[in-house]
Structure 1
Amino acid sequence: MKRRDFVGLTGLATGAMFLPSVPGFGGELIDPARLLEQVDPAIKKRLADAALNAAKSAGATYADVRIGRYLNQSIFTREKQVQNIANGESYGAGVRVIANGTWGFAATNTVTEAGMAKAAQLAVQIAKANAKVQKEPVKLAPQKGYGEVTWKTPIQVNAFEVPIKDKVDLLLAANAKALDNGANFVNSALFQINEQKYFASTDGSYIDQDVHRIWPTLGVTAIDRASGKFRTREALSSPMGMGYEYMQPKAQDKIAGPAGTGLVGYKYSYDILEDATLAAKQAKEKITAKSVTPGKFDLVLDPNHLGLTIHETIGHATELDRVLGYEANYAGTSFATQEWKAKNQPYGSKLVNIVADKLQPGSLGAVGFDDEGVKTKQWDIIKEGKLVDYQKIRDQAHIVGQNESDGCCYSQSWEDVQFQRMANISLKPGTEKMSVDQMISNVDKGIYIAGRGSFSIDQQRYNSQFGGTVFYAIEKGKIAGMLEDVAYQTNTVEFWNSCSAICDQNDYRLFGSFFDGKGQPPQVSAVSHGSATTRFNAVNVINTARKIG
């Protein structure tokens, strides 16, 4: 990175202060060159041992330590200008203990042996105070220690090593493409995250992980001056657990959308210039698109859209803490209780196979070990339409009669306590060869939906409504023009039981969320959801347009 490029570009921006409205990005503003620094693992081990020893001496029966260095870079542009560039660092440690059968946690940004020991002692004091109101002792699933191990996101190009000027030039080039193709306004942004996480526990693990994530996005607005109408089309990118190679498009990663739409899907690279061009054209087309007539339609859902529905109706619904009622205050519990599961009724059709996977290449949730030192894995959530398992961590496994964690415990930073978070939750592709056009050819009356939109869901993850970014009518097996004002209403079980066809592996792609919120105090986490284009029969579609007067 060239410091003069950074100084020159931030001189064009509207101030070097980081935008506080973006969750998950913050910490101390730093020189971009510091983003490439690393902390010696030997130093981290010595610091961790200081905390573990202090915790045991104070009476802890179990302790773990997370030393975290969280780095982020964000670039914001609008039309021909750079609006903001910020580089942030957050560095500190969290110590979690069990004493008198109860959890205690404390964190510090004084990352010295004395500071670590003090935090550990405080965590034990908190645990002992909590024990006075604890009804049952914490029961941890057994976990072997792994000794000293490392894991890194298998990136090809470290995004933090790419000169800021190159990234700014790419965003501004995308803006220019949108403006040249009819957009009146355009903004684009690039978010990059590096989590350098060190975990140590009294189980005997010393785990050093280097996690990378990236998210390019844009928004394009077209205005019809005569009528005063305007429409916006958001990016069809997905945040990924990758390096800057995601921003270097490869022909083999592109998947053509349905004939007649011009849409392109992206697997493991993203062409922001191509997407900006199409976004401008589609934003203009949306202004004159026909408003949907409500009714029952067969829906053909693109992976970039379906991922959000998977996230809300299956991902959150199968988190064990929601199922048990522990998460009721923040976004509700779940209809998929243990009693509901015991009835063995179908969650979806026999085509619906959902897996949780913390190892999925390119996914946001891919790590080697979770924040409890548990080695990550893949496991079944729904098999041939039946709910077969939940997502759980070490102190939950015994509640459902199991003896191991699923490795899905996570904290957004060193200063927050780790707790159960969603793994990558994905719909397996179809086993029979099927393209999107082949799927559409069998639809008599339907709607094709791509991109995420507004949504709502009730407190038990059951009744829901989902919009999208772009919509196309399907008539007698062919795309028949763009639609607007589309949303579908359904309940989770009805929706997934209407699943009638899934495209094959060649169409499989990842949707992702950088900022999935949960907990009190709230935390965010990053998670992906994979699927191929999928058909759902006879779904209720409403018109979302509001008439004034």
Structure 2
Amino acid sequence: MRDIAIRAINAAQQFGASYVDVRVMERTTEGIEVRNGRVEGVSSSASIGFNVRVLVNGAWGFASSDRMELAEAERIAQLAVQIARASALVAGDPVRLSPLSPQKGTYRTPMQLDPFLVPLQQKVQLLLDADAAMRSVKGVTLSSAMMEYSREHKYFASSEGSEIEQELYDTGAAISASAVDAQSNEIQTRSYPNSFGRQAGTVGYEFIEAMELVEHGARVGEEAVQLLTAPQCPSGIKTIILDGPQVGLQVHESCGHPIELDRVLGYEAGFVGKSFLTTDKFNNNYRYGSEYINITADATIPGALGTFGWDDEGVPAQRTPIVTRGIFNGYLTSRDTAPLIGLASNGSVRADGWNRLPMIRMTNVSLEPGSWKLTDLIADTDDGIYMSINKSWSIDDRRLNFQFGVEMAYEIKNGKPGRLYKNATYTGITPQFWGSCDAVCGPDEWAVWGTPNCGKGEPMQVMRTGHGAAPARFRNVQVGVGRWS
């Protein structure tokens, strides 16, 4: 890896580049899926290649290849320089990079059990047992259990003298059960630990073992069946309590995406939209939420899915305040966007493969824990609705107006759980919604929820992000059918 990188850097400089960085990356992924008592698939994939990114006349050039040869490194370096020269003919202001001292070091995901070394039969049997536990419930029509784990080995070097080697693992799993009403064909689904993919982290196989998938199988199945006969969630202005996974997704969609500075500056407008958090709101006492809202971007949280040693520009992982006691005060930045607002990069740049440009991506954007216990929070709520695990979402291209649906809800009456509800939804406008939060649960119920499939860019890149969250309460929220409030 190093030989390829150094050869490419030297060649690009000889061809006229003022700055060069090279990423050499190898990624291996394995997955297992069980459905209705049968092994549906065992997959394995691997990819290796490198890319060269250069600055020439103040413009970027980028090229990549999967041919791991020294002569190819020189050819790709020359191609990247040619692309940069062409880009400079139509570029606007020249690119400026925030300062960065030469970075040297290695980083490896801490773990107890390498998921690639755990016997395949053991992993398959765990999923089969979890699937059987769900199917033991009468009325379960479809059961699914899956796991996926990957290893990413990458080497970064730059013309500024940085040389970094990292080995990053991510590991995750999930189960789900669905029940179908034979008369109406209505389908209700319950998931664990999260929906839409899996719960994942930068950790080893011990993470999957700690989920206790088998032990939760019957409960997941029972709740799916119970939802078929549950009443529809009532509409109106309500007090709601969101569980940890739902708060995590709310943070991802309405907090994480709008603080990506490339989106704020309009660079992503044609692909994924803009942001309501425009630069005039930065350091201007803009109220993003209530005093209980403290949000950070932290790539150093142990085991979180957005954790690493250095980003893909060689910037060290770090913790950045985003919202402090409800006041907005931070963005996710890169070396070429941060100087535009007088900052240095906070290490938020990644690419999902060797043939993709690095761009600003969420790390671990988290709602910091409060002081409540969930049982006390429910007891303190006279009339409300508790909502659990995401089922659907919709949000506008500025990340302002949104609607979320959850798999399961139940009423809270006089501080006690009441009837089960199905098809619960809530809507809001981002700053008003976070402004309505009056309680966040504490560290005992705070966890980092992995989002392994966040898409951005063109061609779309899928990135792995994390979101620390605990159950939280929001007042005066539109639940069910209604207009934006």
TM range (shorter): over 0.9
CA contact (8 A) 1:192 1:213 kept: yes
Q: What amino acid maps onto 2:201 in structure 1?
A: M
* CA deviation string 1:460-493 (max 9, x = no partner): 1111001112211111101002101210011001
**Residue 330 of structure 2 aligns with which residue?**
389
- Residue 55 of structure 2 is aligned to residue 114 of structure 1: no
**Residue 168 of structure 1 aligns with which residue?**
124
Note the 1:322-471 alignment, pairs <5 A.
Answer: 322-341=263-282, 343-402=284-343, 404-430=344-370, 432=371, 434-471=372-409
- Residue 196 of structure 2 is aligned to residue 240 of structure 1: no
Give the superposition deviation at 1:276: 1.8
TM-score by length of 1: 0.85
CA contact (8 A) 2:51 2:354 kept: yes
SS of residue matched to 1:454: strand
TM-score by length of 2: 0.96
SS of residue matched to 2:304: coil
Instruction: Judge which range, 176-185 or 388-397, deviates more.
Output: 176-185
Separation in 2, partners of 1:323, 1:419: 13
Give the superposition deviation at 1:151: 0.1
CA contact (8 A) 2:296 2:368 kept: yes
Separation in 1, partners of 2:281, 2:23: 37
**Residue 25 of structure 2 aligns with which residue?**
68
- Residue 7 of structure 2 is aligned to residue 46 of structure 1: no
Separation in 1, partners of 2:437, 2:399: 18
- Residue 479 of structure 2 is aligned to residue 541 of structure 1: yes
- Matched residue pairs, number? 477
- Return closer, same or farther for 1:418/1:226 CA change in 2, 3 Å cut-off: closer
Separation in 2, partners of 1:225, 1:122: 61
Instruction: Judge which range, 505-514 or 333-342, deviates more.
Output: 333-342
- Residue 148 of structure 2 is aligned to residue 191 of structure 1: yes
* CA deviation string 1:314-344 (max 9, x = no partner): 1001111111111112231011111234652
- Return closer, same or farther for 1:543/1:207 CA change in 2, 3 Å cut-off: same
- Residue 414 of structure 2 is aligned to residue 473 of structure 1: no
SS of residue matched to 2:406: coil
* CA deviation string 1:54-105 (max 9, x = no partner): 1111111110110000110011111121111111000000110111111100
- Return closer, same or farther for 1:475/1:361 CA change in 2, 3 Å cut-off: same
CA contact (8 A) 1:303 1:508 kept: yes
- Residue 159 of structure 2 is aligned to residue 218 of structure 1: no
Note the 1:128-277 alignment, pairs <5 A.
Answer: 128-147=85-104, 149-182=105-138, 183-225=140-182, 228-237=185-194, 238-249=199-210, 270-277=211-218
Separation in 2, partners of 1:341, 1:45: 40
Give the superposition deviation at 1:246: 0.7
Give the superposition deviation at 1:418: 0.7
- Return closer, same or farther for 1:341/1:201 CA change in 2, 3 Å cut-off: closer
Mark the runs of 5 or more structure 1 residues left unpaired by the alignment: 1-43, 250-269, 545-549
Separation in 1, partners of 2:238, 2:10: 63
Separation in 2, partners of 1:499, 1:70: 41
Separation in 1, partners of 2:306, 2:185: 43
Give the superposition deviation at 1:275: 2.4
* CA deviation string 1:151-184 (max 9, x = no partner): 0111111101111111111111111000112322
CA contact (8 A) 2:382 2:413 kept: yes
**Residue 55 of structure 2 aligns with which residue?**
98
Identity among equivalent positions (%) equals 37
Instruction: Judge which range, 506-515 or 60-69, deviates more.
Output: 506-515
- The alignment yields a C-alpha RMSD, in angstroms, of 1.3
SS of residue matched to 1:316: helix
Separation in 2, partners of 1:189, 1:475: 37
Mark the runs of 5 or more structure 2 residues left unpaired by the alignment: none
SS of residue matched to 1:336: coil
CA contact (8 A) 1:473 1:481 kept: yes
Instruction: Judge which range, 228-237 or 152-161, deviates more.
Output: 228-237
Q: What amino acid maps onto 2:216 in structure 1?
A: D
